[in-house]
Structure 1
Amino acid sequence: MGFAPKSYCSLLYVLVLLPALCYSQDTFVSSRATYYGSPDCLGTPTGACGFGDYGRTVNDGSVSGVSRLYRNGTGCGGCYQVRCKIPQICTEDGARVVVTDYGEGDKTDFILSTRAYARLARPNVASELFAYGVVDIEYRRISCQYPGYNLMVKVHENSRFPDYLAIIILYQAGQNDITAVEVWQVDCQQWRGLRNAYGAVWDMSSPPTGALNFRVQVTGRSGLKWVQLSNVLPSEWKAGAAYETTIQLT
Protein backbone atom coordinates (compact mmCIF):
# COMPACT_ATOMS: atom_id res chain seq x y z
CA MET A 1 0.00 0.00 0.00
CA GLY A 2 1.60 3.29 -1.09
CA PHE A 3 0.85 6.94 -0.71
CA ALA A 4 -1.63 8.42 -3.16
CA PRO A 5 -0.86 11.89 -4.52
CA LYS A 6 -2.21 14.52 -2.16
CA SER A 7 -3.16 18.15 -2.38
CA TYR A 8 -2.03 20.19 0.60
CA CYS A 9 -3.55 23.40 1.87
CA SER A 10 -1.51 26.53 2.22
CA LEU A 11 -0.06 25.74 5.60
CA LEU A 12 3.71 26.04 5.77
CA TYR A 13 6.02 25.08 8.50
CA VAL A 14 9.64 26.01 8.98
CA LEU A 15 11.24 25.13 12.25
CA VAL A 16 13.28 27.84 13.86
CA LEU A 17 16.54 26.17 14.77
CA LEU A 18 18.67 26.27 17.86
CA PRO A 19 21.02 29.25 18.27
CA ALA A 20 23.96 26.97 17.44
CA LEU A 21 23.21 27.16 13.70
CA CYS A 22 26.22 28.10 11.58
CA TYR A 23 25.81 30.80 8.95
CA SER A 24 26.79 30.34 5.36
CA GLN A 25 28.28 33.17 3.32
CA ASP A 26 25.49 33.16 0.72
CA THR A 27 24.07 36.45 -0.50
CA PHE A 28 20.68 37.43 0.91
CA VAL A 29 17.69 37.19 -1.44
CA SER A 30 14.79 39.65 -1.20
CA SER A 31 11.26 38.28 -0.81
CA ARG A 32 8.15 38.54 1.39
CA ALA A 33 6.84 36.61 4.39
CA THR A 34 3.59 36.27 6.28
CA TYR A 35 2.33 34.08 9.13
CA TYR A 36 -0.48 31.72 10.04
CA GLY A 37 -2.13 31.35 13.41
CA SER A 38 -3.01 28.36 15.57
CA PRO A 39 -4.37 28.14 19.14
CA ASP A 40 -1.08 26.84 20.57
CA CYS A 41 1.21 28.74 18.15
CA LEU A 42 2.44 25.41 16.81
CA GLY A 43 2.04 23.88 13.38
CA THR A 44 -0.07 20.86 12.47
CA PRO A 45 1.20 17.28 12.07
CA THR A 46 0.00 17.16 8.44
CA GLY A 47 2.73 19.15 6.70
CA ALA A 48 3.64 18.34 3.10
CA CYS A 49 7.13 17.15 4.08
CA GLY A 50 5.67 14.31 6.17
CA PHE A 51 7.62 15.17 9.33
CA GLY A 52 4.60 14.78 11.62
CA ASP A 53 5.08 15.85 15.24
CA TYR A 54 8.77 16.48 14.56
CA GLY A 55 7.65 19.29 12.27
CA ARG A 56 5.31 20.61 14.95
CA THR A 57 7.43 20.73 18.05
CA VAL A 58 11.11 20.99 17.14
CA ASN A 59 12.74 24.07 18.66
CA ASP A 60 9.70 24.96 20.75
CA GLY A 61 7.34 24.88 17.79
CA SER A 62 8.77 27.92 16.01
CA VAL A 63 7.83 26.83 12.49
CA SER A 64 7.00 28.11 9.01
CA GLY A 65 7.11 27.03 5.40
CA VAL A 66 8.01 27.80 1.80
CA SER A 67 6.66 27.93 -1.74
CA ARG A 68 9.28 27.79 -4.51
CA LEU A 69 11.99 26.71 -2.04
CA TYR A 70 10.01 23.50 -1.45
CA ARG A 71 11.35 22.14 -4.78
CA ASN A 72 8.99 19.16 -4.99
CA GLY A 73 10.10 18.01 -1.54
CA THR A 74 13.86 18.21 -2.11
CA GLY A 75 13.86 21.40 -0.06
CA CYS A 76 12.41 19.68 3.02
CA GLY A 77 14.80 20.04 5.94
CA GLY A 78 16.70 22.95 4.42
CA CYS A 79 17.62 25.73 6.88
CA TYR A 80 17.37 29.46 6.30
CA GLN A 81 18.03 32.73 8.04
CA VAL A 82 15.06 35.06 7.52
CA ARG A 83 15.00 38.70 8.58
CA CYS A 84 12.48 41.45 7.92
CA LYS A 85 13.34 44.89 6.61
CA ILE A 86 11.65 47.42 8.90
CA PRO A 87 14.60 48.85 10.86
CA GLN A 88 12.62 50.27 13.79
CA ILE A 89 10.80 46.96 14.35
CA CYS A 90 12.97 44.09 13.04
CA THR A 91 16.08 42.54 14.56
CA GLU A 92 19.33 42.31 12.62
CA ASP A 93 19.55 38.51 12.94
CA GLY A 94 15.90 37.59 12.37
CA ALA A 95 14.81 33.96 12.68
CA ARG A 96 16.58 30.72 11.81
CA VAL A 97 14.19 28.28 10.19
CA VAL A 98 14.01 24.83 8.59
CA VAL A 99 11.57 23.85 5.85
CA THR A 100 8.87 21.38 6.88
CA ASP A 101 5.90 22.18 4.62
CA TYR A 102 4.68 23.67 1.35
CA GLY A 103 2.28 26.57 0.84
CA GLU A 104 1.76 29.84 -0.95
CA GLY A 105 0.83 33.26 0.39
CA ASP A 106 0.60 36.77 -1.08
CA LYS A 107 3.75 36.62 -3.23
CA THR A 108 5.60 35.18 -0.24
CA ASP A 109 8.39 32.62 -0.03
CA PHE A 110 7.83 32.02 3.70
CA ILE A 111 4.69 31.56 5.81
CA LEU A 112 5.79 31.48 9.43
CA SER A 113 4.13 30.32 12.60
CA THR A 114 3.36 33.07 15.06
CA ARG A 115 6.36 32.02 17.17
CA ALA A 116 8.73 32.28 14.23
CA TYR A 117 7.20 35.53 13.00
CA ALA A 118 7.55 37.10 16.45
CA ARG A 119 11.25 36.29 16.45
CA LEU A 120 11.73 38.64 13.52
CA ALA A 121 10.86 41.57 15.79
CA ARG A 122 12.76 43.52 18.40
CA PRO A 123 11.74 43.01 22.06
CA ASN A 124 8.28 44.30 22.97
CA VAL A 125 7.30 45.37 19.43
CA ALA A 126 6.13 42.05 17.94
CA SER A 127 2.51 43.31 17.96
CA GLU A 128 3.51 46.10 15.58
CA LEU A 129 5.05 43.57 13.22
CA PHE A 130 1.93 41.36 13.30
CA ALA A 131 -0.15 44.36 12.29
CA TYR A 132 1.63 44.40 8.93
CA GLY A 133 0.47 40.86 8.05
CA VAL A 134 2.91 40.58 5.13
CA VAL A 135 6.41 42.08 5.33
CA ASP A 136 9.39 42.46 3.06
CA ILE A 137 12.21 40.14 4.06
CA GLU A 138 15.58 38.87 2.96
CA TYR A 139 16.78 35.32 3.43
CA ARG A 140 19.76 33.06 2.84
CA ARG A 141 20.39 29.38 3.25
CA ILE A 142 22.44 28.40 6.28
CA SER A 143 23.93 25.19 7.61
CA CYS A 144 21.70 23.17 9.96
CA GLN A 145 23.18 21.89 13.21
CA TYR A 146 21.45 19.70 15.78
CA PRO A 147 23.74 19.45 18.84
CA GLY A 148 23.29 16.10 20.57
CA TYR A 149 21.49 14.47 17.66
CA ASN A 150 22.75 12.13 14.97
CA LEU A 151 20.77 11.51 11.79
CA MET A 152 17.60 9.53 12.53
CA VAL A 153 15.43 7.35 10.31
CA LYS A 154 11.76 7.26 11.28
CA VAL A 155 9.45 4.54 10.02
CA HIS A 156 6.29 6.27 8.84
CA GLU A 157 3.07 5.38 10.66
CA ASN A 158 1.52 4.13 7.39
CA SER A 159 4.18 1.41 7.09
CA ARG A 160 2.99 -2.20 7.42
CA PHE A 161 5.55 -4.78 8.47
CA PRO A 162 6.76 -6.69 6.49
CA ASP A 163 4.94 -5.72 3.28
CA TYR A 164 5.31 -1.95 2.98
CA LEU A 165 7.97 0.41 4.31
CA ALA A 166 8.03 4.22 4.29
CA ILE A 167 10.75 6.25 5.99
CA ILE A 168 11.50 9.89 6.83
CA ILE A 169 15.02 11.15 7.59
CA LEU A 170 15.21 13.54 10.56
CA TYR A 171 17.87 15.83 12.07
CA GLN A 172 19.64 16.35 8.75
CA ALA A 173 22.58 18.68 9.46
CA GLY A 174 24.66 20.76 7.05
CA GLN A 175 23.45 22.24 3.76
CA ASN A 176 22.84 18.98 1.93
CA ASP A 177 19.71 17.97 -0.01
CA ILE A 178 18.71 14.30 -0.07
CA THR A 179 17.98 13.38 -3.69
CA ALA A 180 17.80 9.54 -3.56
CA VAL A 181 17.52 6.71 -1.01
CA GLU A 182 18.42 3.04 -1.58
CA VAL A 183 18.32 -0.11 0.54
CA TRP A 184 20.72 -3.07 0.30
CA GLN A 185 19.10 -6.30 -0.93
CA VAL A 186 21.30 -9.08 0.42
CA ASP A 187 19.94 -11.96 -1.69
CA CYS A 188 20.52 -10.04 -4.94
CA GLN A 189 23.69 -8.29 -3.72
CA GLN A 190 22.50 -4.95 -5.08
CA TRP A 191 21.10 -1.60 -4.01
CA ARG A 192 17.37 -1.14 -4.54
CA GLY A 193 15.87 2.34 -4.87
CA LEU A 194 13.03 3.73 -2.77
CA ARG A 195 10.36 5.94 -4.31
CA ASN A 196 10.01 9.56 -3.25
CA ALA A 197 6.36 9.25 -2.20
CA TYR A 198 5.99 12.93 -1.29
CA GLY A 199 7.99 15.55 0.56
CA ALA A 200 10.66 13.86 2.67
CA VAL A 201 8.89 10.47 2.64
CA TRP A 202 10.58 7.59 0.79
CA ASP A 203 8.78 4.25 0.39
CA MET A 204 8.83 0.79 -1.17
CA SER A 205 6.69 -2.33 -1.38
CA SER A 206 8.08 -5.72 -0.36
CA PRO A 207 11.20 -4.40 1.40
CA PRO A 208 14.11 -6.81 2.05
CA THR A 209 13.99 -8.95 5.18
CA GLY A 210 16.43 -8.75 8.06
CA ALA A 211 18.22 -5.69 9.42
CA LEU A 212 18.30 -2.97 6.77
CA ASN A 213 21.24 -0.95 5.45
CA PHE A 214 20.50 2.24 3.53
CA ARG A 215 22.47 4.72 1.52
CA VAL A 216 21.37 8.26 0.68
CA GLN A 217 22.44 10.44 -2.21
CA VAL A 218 23.09 14.00 -1.10
CA THR A 219 23.97 17.16 -3.01
CA GLY A 220 25.55 20.22 -1.48
CA ARG A 221 28.55 22.49 -1.58
CA SER A 222 30.89 19.52 -2.05
CA GLY A 223 28.89 18.16 -4.99
CA LEU A 224 27.05 14.84 -5.18
CA LYS A 225 27.92 11.88 -2.98
CA TRP A 226 26.48 8.71 -1.46
CA VAL A 227 26.46 8.21 2.31
CA GLN A 228 25.88 4.74 3.76
CA LEU A 229 23.74 4.12 6.85
CA SER A 230 24.58 0.68 8.23
CA ASN A 231 22.21 -1.49 10.30
CA VAL A 232 19.70 1.33 10.65
CA LEU A 233 16.46 -0.65 10.97
CA PRO A 234 16.22 -3.88 12.96
CA SER A 235 14.85 -7.05 11.36
CA GLU A 236 11.44 -6.43 12.98
CA TRP A 237 11.06 -2.67 12.52
CA LYS A 238 8.01 -0.94 13.95
CA ALA A 239 5.73 1.61 12.28
CA GLY A 240 6.09 4.96 14.00
CA ALA A 241 9.47 4.14 15.58
CA ALA A 242 12.56 6.31 15.03
CA TYR A 243 16.02 4.75 14.82
CA GLU A 244 19.22 6.70 15.39
CA THR A 245 22.24 6.34 13.11
CA THR A 246 25.84 7.00 14.10
CA ILE A 247 26.50 9.73 11.51
CA GLN A 248 25.50 13.20 10.36
CA LEU A 249 25.26 14.53 6.80
CA THR A 250 27.59 17.47 7.34
Structure 2
Amino acid sequence: MGFALKNQVFLLCVMVLLLAVLCYSQDTFTHSRATYYGSPDCYGTASGACGFREFGRTVNDGNVAGVSKLFRNGTGCGTCYQVRCTTPEVCADEGVNIVVTDHGEGDRTDFILSPRAYSKLARPNDVSKLFSYGVVEIEYRRISCKYSGYNLMFKVHENSKYPHYLSIVLLYVAGQNDITAVELWHDNWQQWRAMRRAYGAVWDMVNMPRGSVKLRFQVSCNYGTTWVQSKNVLPSNWKAGVAYDSLIQLY
Protein backbone atom coordinates (compact mmCIF):
# COMPACT_ATOMS: atom_id res chain seq x y z
CA MET A 1 0.00 0.00 0.00
CA GLY A 2 2.78 2.42 0.93
CA PHE A 3 4.79 1.40 -2.15
CA ALA A 4 1.82 2.11 -4.42
CA LEU A 5 1.32 5.51 -2.80
CA LYS A 6 4.99 6.39 -3.31
CA ASN A 7 4.71 5.39 -6.98
CA GLN A 8 1.66 7.60 -7.40
CA VAL A 9 3.41 10.56 -5.78
CA PHE A 10 6.46 9.99 -7.98
CA LEU A 11 4.35 9.86 -11.15
CA LEU A 12 2.50 13.01 -10.10
CA CYS A 13 5.80 14.85 -9.60
CA VAL A 14 7.02 13.70 -13.01
CA MET A 15 3.81 14.90 -14.65
CA VAL A 16 4.11 18.32 -12.98
CA LEU A 17 7.70 18.67 -14.15
CA LEU A 18 6.79 17.65 -17.70
CA LEU A 19 3.92 20.13 -17.77
CA ALA A 20 6.25 22.90 -16.57
CA VAL A 21 8.75 22.05 -19.30
CA LEU A 22 6.00 22.36 -21.93
CA CYS A 23 5.67 26.02 -21.02
CA TYR A 24 9.23 26.64 -22.14
CA SER A 25 9.52 24.32 -25.11
CA GLN A 26 8.14 24.83 -28.57
CA ASP A 27 10.32 23.05 -31.09
CA THR A 28 7.91 23.20 -34.02
CA PHE A 29 8.29 26.10 -36.41
CA THR A 30 5.29 27.61 -38.22
CA HIS A 31 5.61 28.84 -41.79
CA SER A 32 4.58 32.43 -42.56
CA ARG A 33 5.79 35.70 -44.11
CA ALA A 34 7.39 38.84 -42.70
CA THR A 35 8.11 42.38 -43.76
CA TYR A 36 9.41 45.54 -42.03
CA TYR A 37 8.24 49.06 -41.27
CA GLY A 38 9.98 52.37 -41.72
CA SER A 39 11.81 53.80 -38.73
CA PRO A 40 14.36 56.64 -38.85
CA ASP A 41 16.54 55.09 -36.14
CA CYS A 42 15.66 51.43 -36.97
CA TYR A 43 14.16 50.89 -33.50
CA GLY A 44 10.54 50.20 -32.61
CA THR A 45 7.74 52.73 -32.33
CA ALA A 46 6.59 54.52 -29.18
CA SER A 47 2.98 54.58 -30.41
CA GLY A 48 2.36 50.84 -30.69
CA ALA A 49 -1.00 49.18 -30.06
CA CYS A 50 0.32 47.43 -26.94
CA GLY A 51 0.66 50.71 -25.04
CA PHE A 52 4.29 50.10 -24.14
CA ARG A 53 5.48 53.53 -25.32
CA GLU A 54 9.27 53.95 -24.93
CA PHE A 55 9.63 50.39 -23.62
CA GLY A 56 8.15 49.14 -26.88
CA ARG A 57 10.64 51.17 -28.88
CA THR A 58 13.86 50.05 -27.22
CA VAL A 59 13.19 46.74 -25.44
CA ASN A 60 15.32 43.83 -26.67
CA ASP A 61 17.69 46.35 -28.27
CA GLY A 62 14.91 47.40 -30.61
CA ASN A 63 14.40 43.92 -32.03
CA VAL A 64 10.62 44.15 -31.94
CA ALA A 65 7.67 43.48 -34.20
CA GLY A 66 4.04 44.17 -34.86
CA VAL A 67 1.97 41.05 -35.46
CA SER A 68 -1.43 40.26 -36.93
CA LYS A 69 -3.20 37.13 -35.69
CA LEU A 70 -0.58 36.60 -32.95
CA PHE A 71 -1.71 39.86 -31.34
CA ARG A 72 -4.72 37.99 -29.88
CA ASN A 73 -6.60 41.14 -28.84
CA GLY A 74 -3.62 42.28 -26.79
CA THR A 75 -2.82 39.01 -25.02
CA GLY A 76 0.13 38.58 -27.39
CA CYS A 77 1.75 41.84 -26.28
CA GLY A 78 5.20 41.17 -24.83
CA THR A 79 5.49 37.62 -26.18
CA CYS A 80 8.77 36.52 -27.73
CA TYR A 81 9.46 34.61 -30.94
CA GLN A 82 12.40 33.28 -32.88
CA VAL A 83 11.94 34.33 -36.50
CA ARG A 84 14.16 33.16 -39.35
CA CYS A 85 13.77 33.58 -43.08
CA THR A 86 14.02 30.62 -45.42
CA THR A 87 15.84 31.89 -48.50
CA PRO A 88 19.18 30.01 -48.20
CA GLU A 89 21.27 32.40 -50.28
CA VAL A 90 20.61 35.43 -48.05
CA CYS A 91 19.23 34.22 -44.70
CA ALA A 92 21.11 33.65 -41.44
CA ASP A 93 20.60 30.27 -39.80
CA GLU A 94 19.34 31.46 -36.40
CA GLY A 95 17.43 34.54 -37.51
CA VAL A 96 16.40 36.94 -34.75
CA ASN A 97 14.58 36.80 -31.41
CA ILE A 98 11.89 39.48 -31.21
CA VAL A 99 9.41 40.92 -28.71
CA VAL A 100 5.85 41.72 -29.81
CA THR A 101 5.07 45.39 -29.14
CA ASP A 102 2.44 46.31 -31.74
CA HIS A 103 -0.38 45.14 -33.98
CA GLY A 104 0.00 45.36 -37.74
CA GLU A 105 -1.41 43.89 -40.94
CA GLY A 106 0.82 43.29 -43.95
CA ASP A 107 0.69 41.38 -47.23
CA ARG A 108 -0.30 37.99 -45.72
CA THR A 109 2.38 38.50 -43.08
CA ASP A 110 2.36 37.49 -39.43
CA PHE A 111 5.30 39.76 -38.55
CA ILE A 112 6.12 43.38 -39.36
CA LEU A 113 9.62 43.75 -37.96
CA SER A 114 11.58 46.79 -36.92
CA PRO A 115 14.42 47.44 -39.39
CA ARG A 116 16.95 46.33 -36.75
CA ALA A 117 15.19 42.99 -36.38
CA TYR A 118 14.62 42.53 -40.12
CA SER A 119 18.31 43.11 -40.88
CA LYS A 120 19.26 40.28 -38.52
CA LEU A 121 17.36 37.79 -40.63
CA ALA A 122 20.12 38.17 -43.25
CA ARG A 123 23.69 37.02 -43.40
CA PRO A 124 26.07 39.96 -42.76
CA ASN A 125 26.87 40.64 -46.41
CA ASP A 126 23.31 40.22 -47.67
CA VAL A 127 21.36 42.75 -45.60
CA SER A 128 20.68 45.16 -48.46
CA LYS A 129 19.57 42.31 -50.71
CA LEU A 130 17.12 41.10 -48.07
CA PHE A 131 15.66 44.60 -47.70
CA SER A 132 15.14 44.73 -51.45
CA TYR A 133 12.77 41.77 -51.18
CA GLY A 134 10.38 43.69 -48.93
CA VAL A 135 8.45 40.57 -47.93
CA VAL A 136 10.19 37.26 -47.19
CA GLU A 137 9.12 33.73 -46.40
CA ILE A 138 9.85 32.88 -42.76
CA GLU A 139 9.33 30.31 -40.05
CA TYR A 140 8.81 31.16 -36.42
CA ARG A 141 8.32 29.60 -32.99
CA ARG A 142 7.47 31.01 -29.60
CA ILE A 143 10.37 31.19 -27.15
CA SER A 144 10.79 32.28 -23.54
CA CYS A 145 11.31 35.97 -22.91
CA LYS A 146 14.41 36.64 -20.81
CA TYR A 147 15.10 39.90 -18.98
CA SER A 148 18.28 39.63 -16.97
CA GLY A 149 18.14 41.81 -13.89
CA TYR A 150 14.45 42.70 -14.23
CA ASN A 151 11.41 41.57 -12.31
CA LEU A 152 7.88 41.90 -13.62
CA MET A 153 7.03 45.61 -13.47
CA PHE A 154 3.68 47.39 -13.41
CA LYS A 155 3.93 50.88 -14.80
CA VAL A 156 1.24 53.43 -14.09
CA HIS A 157 0.20 54.57 -17.54
CA GLU A 158 0.57 58.25 -18.37
CA ASN A 159 -3.21 58.49 -18.97
CA SER A 160 -3.94 57.71 -15.29
CA LYS A 161 -5.60 60.42 -13.20
CA TYR A 162 -4.72 60.26 -9.50
CA PRO A 163 -6.45 59.01 -7.47
CA HIS A 164 -9.68 57.87 -9.14
CA TYR A 165 -8.62 56.51 -12.54
CA LEU A 166 -5.81 53.94 -12.59
CA SER A 167 -4.31 52.49 -15.75
CA ILE A 168 -1.29 50.18 -15.72
CA VAL A 169 0.87 48.46 -18.32
CA LEU A 170 2.82 45.29 -17.53
CA LEU A 171 6.52 45.17 -18.47
CA TYR A 172 9.22 42.46 -18.47
CA VAL A 173 6.90 39.44 -18.47
CA ALA A 174 9.42 36.58 -18.72
CA GLY A 175 9.00 32.99 -19.86
CA GLN A 176 6.23 31.89 -22.20
CA ASN A 177 3.47 33.32 -20.06
CA ASP A 178 0.29 35.15 -21.06
CA ILE A 179 -1.28 37.45 -18.48
CA THR A 180 -4.99 37.05 -19.11
CA ALA A 181 -6.44 38.94 -16.13
CA VAL A 182 -5.37 41.46 -13.48
CA GLU A 183 -7.13 41.99 -10.16
CA LEU A 184 -6.74 44.54 -7.36
CA TRP A 185 -7.32 44.25 -3.61
CA HIS A 186 -8.14 47.30 -1.51
CA ASP A 187 -8.92 47.12 2.20
CA ASN A 188 -12.16 49.07 1.60
CA TRP A 189 -13.42 46.29 -0.70
CA GLN A 190 -12.26 43.20 1.19
CA GLN A 191 -12.27 41.30 -2.10
CA TRP A 192 -10.36 41.04 -5.37
CA ARG A 193 -11.78 43.19 -8.18
CA ALA A 194 -11.00 42.75 -11.86
CA MET A 195 -9.33 45.42 -13.95
CA ARG A 196 -10.50 45.89 -17.53
CA ARG A 197 -8.15 45.25 -20.44
CA ALA A 198 -8.33 48.71 -21.97
CA TYR A 199 -6.19 47.75 -24.98
CA GLY A 200 -2.98 45.84 -25.66
CA ALA A 201 -1.07 45.33 -22.41
CA VAL A 202 -2.92 48.21 -20.68
CA TRP A 203 -5.36 47.47 -17.85
CA ASP A 204 -7.52 50.06 -16.09
CA MET A 205 -10.09 50.70 -13.37
CA VAL A 206 -12.29 53.71 -12.61
CA ASN A 207 -13.54 54.94 -9.24
CA MET A 208 -10.40 53.93 -7.38
CA PRO A 209 -10.38 54.69 -3.65
CA ARG A 210 -7.38 56.31 -2.02
CA GLY A 211 -4.80 54.05 -0.43
CA SER A 212 -2.41 51.32 -1.45
CA VAL A 213 -3.62 48.30 -3.42
CA LYS A 214 -2.39 44.75 -3.91
CA LEU A 215 -2.15 43.24 -7.40
CA ARG A 216 -2.42 39.71 -8.69
CA PHE A 217 -2.11 38.35 -12.20
CA GLN A 218 -3.80 35.43 -13.91
CA VAL A 219 -1.00 33.66 -15.74
CA SER A 220 -1.83 31.29 -18.57
CA CYS A 221 0.56 28.87 -20.21
CA ASN A 222 0.04 25.78 -22.31
CA TYR A 223 -0.11 23.62 -19.16
CA GLY A 224 -2.82 25.61 -17.40
CA THR A 225 -3.75 28.80 -15.58
CA THR A 226 -2.83 30.10 -12.13
CA TRP A 227 -2.91 33.32 -10.10
CA VAL A 228 0.33 34.96 -9.00
CA GLN A 229 0.36 37.83 -6.50
CA SER A 230 2.81 40.70 -6.53
CA LYS A 231 5.06 40.90 -3.47
CA ASN A 232 4.96 44.67 -3.73
CA VAL A 233 1.89 46.91 -3.49
CA LEU A 234 0.96 49.91 -5.54
CA PRO A 235 1.55 52.72 -3.03
CA SER A 236 -1.19 55.10 -1.96
CA ASN A 237 0.67 58.03 -3.55
CA TRP A 238 1.19 56.37 -6.95
CA LYS A 239 2.18 58.61 -9.81
CA ALA A 240 1.45 58.46 -13.52
CA GLY A 241 4.46 57.39 -15.58
CA VAL A 242 6.23 55.60 -12.71
CA ALA A 243 7.04 51.87 -12.93
CA TYR A 244 6.83 49.80 -9.75
CA ASP A 245 8.67 46.53 -9.11
CA SER A 246 6.44 43.53 -8.36
CA LEU A 247 9.42 41.74 -6.76
CA ILE A 248 8.40 38.59 -8.66
CA GLN A 249 9.18 37.12 -12.05
CA LEU A 250 7.33 34.58 -14.17
CA TYR A 251 9.35 31.77 -15.72
Given the two structures, how large is their TM-score scaled by the length of structure 1? 0.89
Counterpart of 1:153 in structure 2 is 154
1:205 and 2:206 correspond: yes
**One-letter amino acid of the counterpart of residue 138, structure 1:** E
1:165-244 matched pairs, under 5 angstroms: 165-244=166-245
Contact kept, 8 Å, 1:153 with 1:232, in 2: the verdict is no
Contact kept, 8 Å, 1:211 with 1:231, in 2: the verdict is no
Contact kept, 8 Å, 2:48 with 2:56, in 1: the verdict is yes
Q: CA deviation at 1:42?
A: 1.8
| Structure 2 Cα separation of the partners of residues 34 and 153 of structure 1 | 31
SS in 1 for 2:232: strand
Cα deviation per residue 1:123-167 (whole Å; 9 max; x = unaligned)?
121001101100000000001110110010100000010010000
| Structure 1 Cα separation of the partners of residues 102 and 209 of structure 2 | 30
Cα deviation per residue 1:62-92 (whole Å; 9 max; x = unaligned)?
2211000000001111110000001121111
**One-letter amino acid of the counterpart of residue 160, structure 2:** S
**One-letter amino acid of the counterpart of residue 178, structure 1:** I
1:58-207 matched pairs, under 5 angstroms: 58-207=59-208
SS in 2 for 1:232: coil
Counterpart of 1:36 in structure 2 is 37
| Structure 2 Cα separation of the partners of residues 23 and 230 of structure 1 | 24
SS in 1 for 2:198: strand
Listed as ranges, the gaps of 5+ residues in structure 1 are 1-21
**One-letter amino acid of the counterpart of residue 28, structure 2:** T
**One-letter amino acid of the counterpart of residue 119, structure 1:** K
How many residues align structurally? Answer: 229
SS in 1 for 2:59: helix
The CA RMSD over aligned residues, in Å, is: 1.3
Counterpart of 2:19 in structure 1 is none
SS in 2 for 1:230: coil
Counterpart of 1:246 in structure 2 is 247
| Structure 2 Cα separation of the partners of residues 249 and 85 of structure 1 | 32
Q: CA deviation at 1:23?
A: 7.0
- Larger-gyration structure (1/2): 2
Runs of 4+ in structure 1 off by over 3 angstroms are none
Where is the helix percentage greater, Structure 1 or Structure 2? 2
Cα deviation per residue 1:86-131 (whole Å; 9 max; x = unaligned)?
1121111101011110010000000001100000011121001101
**One-letter amino acid of the counterpart of residue 237, structure 2:** E
| Structure 1 Cα separation of the partners of residues 157 and 131 of structure 2 | 36
Identity rate, percent: 68
Given the two structures, how large is their TM-score scaled by the length of structure 2? 0.88
**One-letter amino acid of the counterpart of residue 125, structure 1:** D
Cα deviation per residue 1:198-219 (whole Å; 9 max; x = unaligned)?
0000000122422221001010
1:46-57 matched pairs, under 5 angstroms: 46-57=47-58
Would the alpha carbon gap of residues 125 and 37 (structure 1) be closer, same or farther in structure 2, given more than 3 Å must change? same
| Structure 2 Cα separation of the partners of residues 95 and 42 of structure 1 | 14
**One-letter amino acid of the counterpart of residue 109, structure 1:** D
Contact kept, 8 Å, 2:186 with 2:212, in 1: the verdict is no
| Structure 2 Cα separation of the partners of residues 142 and 26 of structure 1 | 9
Q: CA deviation at 1:32?
A: 0.2
| Structure 2 Cα separation of the partners of residues 88 and 124 of structure 1 | 11
